[in-house]
Amino acid sequence: MPKRKPDHVPMRTCAICRQVRPKRSMTRIVRGSDGSVAVDPTGKAQGRGTYVCNDPACREPVRLATGIQRALSVPVKAEALELEEIHATP
């Protein structure tokens, strides 16, 4: 068993609002080797990832695309994001 504090909660910074929140409450967005950007429901996909929180303001398509583009250094079209999948993530 790895040593771990029982109260340790992994935190991540939202790419949109820059708030630090528990990783489990966030959606991971990953950039694939082909430059495509996709939601990573498992949180374990290969590639450079960033996180988006559950705040509805951060799920607004244009803000989302802008933030992800900045975080992952890849062009993102708002309409290309699988927003339904993001919304479905608890």
55 vs 60 by CB, closer to Zn ion: 55
Residue 14 found at the interface with Zn ion (CB under 5 A): yes
Torsion, Cα 59 61 65 66, to 10 degrees, reads -90
Binders of Zn ion among 29-88, rule CB under 5 A?
53, 55, 58
Coil, helix or strand at residue 21: strand
Work out which of 16, 37, 65, 76 binds Zn ion, going by CB under 5 A: 16
Q: How far apart are CA 46 and CA 69, in angstroms?
A: 18
Residues at the site binding Zn ion, with contacts judged by CB under 5 A:
14, 16-17, 53, 55, 58
